Amino acid sequence: MEAPQKDIALNRQNQRNHSLPQAKVPPQAVELEKAILGAMMIDKRGVDEVVDLLQPEVFYMPEHQLIFAAIMQLFEEGKPIDIFTVVEQLKFQGNLQQVGGEYYLITLSNIVPTAAHVEYHARIITQMYVKRKLIEISGEVAEKSYDETVDVFDLLDEAEKKIFEVSQGSLKRGTVNIGMGVVDVKDKLVEQAKEEGISGISTGFPSLDDYTSGWQNGDLVIIAARPGMGKTAFVLSMARNMAVDHKVPVAIFNLEMTSEQLIKRFLSIETEIPGDKFRSGKLSDVEWNLLNNKISNISEAPIYINDSSMLSIFDLRAQARRLKSQYDIGILIVDYLQLMSANTNNKGGNREQEISTISRNMKSLAKELNIPVIALSQLSRKVEERSDKGGHKRPMLSDLRESGAIEQDADIVSFIYRPEYYKVISWEDESPTEGQAEFIIAKHRNGKTGEIKLRFEGQFGRFSELNMFQQNQEIESRMNVTDVSPDDFLPPDNYNLESDEDFPF
C-alpha cells in the first residue's frame, strides 16, 4: 500500500508544480546587443548608423549600457573608436572591470565580421526596449488603478503621456550637465546662423516675425481681445499663411464654430470673396471660377480642424498627442481658452483656479510636443470702461479675464485692437484708422514688446501686412494715371526680341 501512496503524493506534487505561474523574462535580444557593440568597435560606419537610433538605456544588459555610453563619449569628443580606445575610456570612467574586462570587449569585437546589418539589429533591440517600457508603464498604471485617491483622468493623462513619449522616442530627460547643454545650444546657433530668415514658424506677417523671429517651439502664446476685434480672423489668416505658403501642418481646435463655418472662412480669405456670399451661396460666374481656381490651395493644405464644442484640457492633450504622432503638426491653435473645462467631470467650483489649470497644462503641452501653442482668450469688460488719448481703448495685461495665471504661464501675451470698432477715426499721429488693426505684444519672455499695425479686411475676415497693402495701393494708383504716352510701353533700345522667351507680354 505504501508504493501507491507515494505515487499519489508525487502526482499531487507534479500538479502543484505545473500550476505555478511560469517565470517571465523581459523582452530582450542580448546576442544582437553584443553584435551591435562589436560592429561599432570594428567599423566607424556602425557608429554612424546607430548614433541617432540608440540610447544607453535601450540595452538590456547593464554592462552593455556602460560600453555603449563609453563609445558615445568618444564619438561626441571626435575621438577614434576601436577596442583599444573603448578600453581606455572605460578605464578612465572606472567601469572596465564592471563590464567584464578587456577579454569581454575582445569577445564582442569577434562576434561580427562587418557592420553590414547593424541598423537592422538596432531597430530590433529598440523594439524590445519599447516592450519593456510598456510593461513598466502598464505595471505602474495597474498599481495606481487600485488606489482610490488617484483621479482617473489624471491617471489616464499620465499613462497616455508616457506612452506618447515612448512612441516618439523622446523619453523624459533628467538632469542635464550645463557643459553638454552649452554645446547643444551652440550647435543650434551655428545651424541657425547658416539659415536665412527666422528661427521659428513664420506667421506670414513679416512685421510681426521681426519681433518674435516666428513662433518658437515650446512657447505658449496668448492672443487676447474683446469680442468683435477679429481674434478668429487673425489666427485663421495666420494658419492659412503657415499651411498654404510654408506647408506647416496646423491643428485648430475651435469650440465656438463648426468645421464647415471655418472652412467657409478659409475660402473667403483665400479667394477674396466676401464671407456673406458663402453663407448665401449666391456667387457670380466670375466668383465661381475664382473659387474653382483657388479651392485646391485650401483643400491640399495640411490643416486639421477639431470643432468639439465641449472640450476639456484632458481631451485637448490626448487629441493633440495623436495629431502630433499621425501628422507631425507644427503648431496648435485653440479658439478659445475660456470655453474649455479643466476636466470632463467638472461640476463647478472656482473658475479662476480652473482657468489656471488649463493655462498651466497648455504650457506643459507646448513643451511636451515641442511646438508653439496659440491660445485665444477673452478680455474683461474693463477695456470698455476706459480710454486714453484720442479715445483709444487699448487693452492691458490686467484685462486678461478670470486668471492672472494666464500671464504667468504664457511666454507671449498679445492683444488685438481695432480702433475703428470704437468709432475712433485716427491714430495718435492723426493717420486714419480705417481698415487697420494693432497687434500689441504686451509680454515677451524672450524678446521685445511693441505694437505692429496690420491691415484688417472685414469682408473677407482677413488680416494682412499693412505695408504690403499700402505698396499695392501705390502701384494701383500709378497704373490708373491718364497722362501716359505710347512711348512708355516701348521696350528699351537694347531689348532682345529675337525669341518668344524674350517677348515681354
Residues belonging to the active site: 256
Neighbours of 152 (CB within 10 A): 12
Tell me the backbone φ, ψ of residue 62, rounded to 5 degrees. Answer: -60, -40
376: nearest Cα among 226, 249, 214, 242: 226
Tell me the backbone φ, ψ of residue 436, rounded to 5 degrees. Answer: -125, 155
Q: What are 378's strand-pairing partners?
A: 225
Q: What is the DSSP string of 307-319?
A: --SS-BHHHHHHH
- Show the cell assigned to 501: 522667351
Q: Tell me the C-alpha to C-alpha distance, in Å, between residue 491 and each of 20, 21, 480, 496, 500.
A: 96, 92, 20, 9, 15
Q: Are 40 and 50 within 8 A, CB to CB?
A: yes
Q: Are 415 and 171 within 8 A, CB to CB?
A: no
Angle, CA 437 vertex, CA 435 and CA 441 arms, to 5°: 170
- Show the cell assigned to 360: 498651466
Q: Are 410 and 363 within 8 A, CB to CB?
A: yes
70: nearest Cα among 41, 111, 50, 43: 41
**Cβ within 8 Å of residue 308, ≥6 positions away:** 253, 255, 315
Q: What is the DSSP string of 157-205?
A: HHHHHHHHHHHHT-PPP----HHHHHHHHHHHHHHHHHS-S-SSB--S-
H or E element, residue 415: strand 412-417
Q: In what order do the strands lie in the sheet with 450-457?
A: 303-306, 250-254, 331-335, 373-378, 220-225, 412-417, 436-444, 450-457, 462-465
The SS3 assignment for 342 reads coil
Q: CA-to-CA distance for 288 and 459, rounded, in angstroms? A: 17
Q: Are 44 and 145 within 8 A, CB to CB?
A: no
Q: What are 305's strand-pairing partners?
A: 252
